[in-house]
Amino acid sequence: MIGKYHTSITNKALGDKLNGYATNYVDKGNTDSDKLRDKIAGISDGYDLSAQHFNKTSLENCEKFLKDAQEVVVDDFIQAANSNGDDEYYEQAFYDLGRLVHNIQDFYSHTNWINYNNEELWNEDVKKPNLEKNQELKTGNYTAFSQYIDKINPFYIYDLSSNYDFYYESDVDMSHYGLNKDEPNTIADRLYEDKYGVSGFTKAADLARSHTLKKWDDIDAILQEELDKDVYEDMVDEISSFDSTQENFDENIDKYRENFNSDMKELK
C-alpha cells in the first residue's frame, strides 16, 4: 500500500481502540517501514527488509517477520505496563505496532490472497493457509528485470486477463507488477474488478483493515492473559490517556528504529 492508504486503513481499524495520539504513533511506525529500504547497521540489519512488505522474498521469511514483530510488540507493552507510566515505553510500543500492522496490511495487496475472492482473513500460516484445497498462496517474484519485462510487454495485461486462473490461482511465478493492489487502478486492481465487479484495491484494503483490528484484539487478549489484573488495568488507563508530540517523535525516531531492530535481531 501507499503511505496514505496505510494510514487511513490503520486509523479506521484502530480508531475505536486507541486515541489519536496513539494511532498517530502507530501510523509513524507503519509508514517508517517504507522509508527503511536499505540495510543500515543497527537500524535495519536485524530482519529481512523485503519480508516486512510481503514482496521480493519467500512467504516463509514474511511469516517469520510477522511472528517476530508480534513478539516484540507484546513484549513492548509488557515492559510499558511495568514501567510506572513511562511514556517512552508506550511510544516504542505504538511505533513497533505500526511496523507490525504494515506487514499484515501489505499481505493483502502483495499476494494473490484476494484474487480467489476470499472473504476470510488469512490465518497467518503460509504452509497451511486457510485456502481451499489445491489453491496456492504466492507473493511477487519481484526482480527488477521481471518487473521491467512485464512493464514493456504490451501483451502482458491481455495475457493476464485472458489467463486469470492460470496466473492468479496457481503457484506460477509472477512479478509484483501483476499482483500489486497498492492503490486504485493498478493492473491487478482492474483485472479483479473485471472478474468480480469490485475494485481489487478496495477488497485488499477492507481485509487489511479487518486484520489490523484483529491483530490489536489478539495482542490485547495476550496482554490480558499475561499481566496481573491491576497491572493490565493501569496499562489500559495509560493507553487511553497517552499523548505525545511531533517533537518527541522526531527526537526519538532513531532510538525507536534501533530498539525495534535489536529486538528483531534477538529473535533471529
Can you name the residues that pair with 139 across neighbouring β-strands? 111
Tell the smallest beta-carbon distance from residue 221 to Zn ion (Å).
26
Q: Does 106 bind Zn ion (CB under 5 A)?
A: yes
Tell the smallest beta-carbon distance from residue 137 to Zn ion (Å).
18
Tell the smallest beta-carbon distance from residue 39 to Zn ion (Å).
16
The region of 50-58, 93-101, 122-130, 164-172 touching Zn ion under the rule CB under 5 A is 50-58
Q: Measure the CA–CA gap between 162 and 265, rounded to whole angstroms.
A: 45
Which is nearer to Zn ion, 13 or 223 (by Cβ)? 13
Which is nearer to Zn ion, 178 or 238 (by Cβ)? 178
Tell the smallest beta-carbon distance from residue 105 to Zn ion (Å).
8
**Alpha-carbon distances of 76 from 71, 95, 157, 206, 246, rounded to whole Å:** 9, 10, 45, 28, 21
Q: Does 182 bind Zn ion (CB under 5 A)?
A: no
Q: Does 110 bind Zn ion (CB under 5 A)?
A: no
Which is nearer to Zn ion, 32 or 263 (by Cβ)? 32
Residue with the CB atom nearest Zn ion in the bound state: 53
Task: Report H helices in the chain.
Answer: 3-14, 20-35, 59-81, 87-110, 144-152, 156-162, 164-168, 176-179, 187-196, 200-226, 229-240, 246-266
Task: Find out whether 188 and 200 touch, Cβ atoms under 8 Å.
Answer: yes
Three-point CA angle 72, 17, 48, nearest 5°: 25
User: Of these, 14, 25, 53, 213, which contacts Zn ion (CB under 5 A)?
Assistant: 53
Chain residues in the site for Zn ion (CB under 5 A): 53, 106
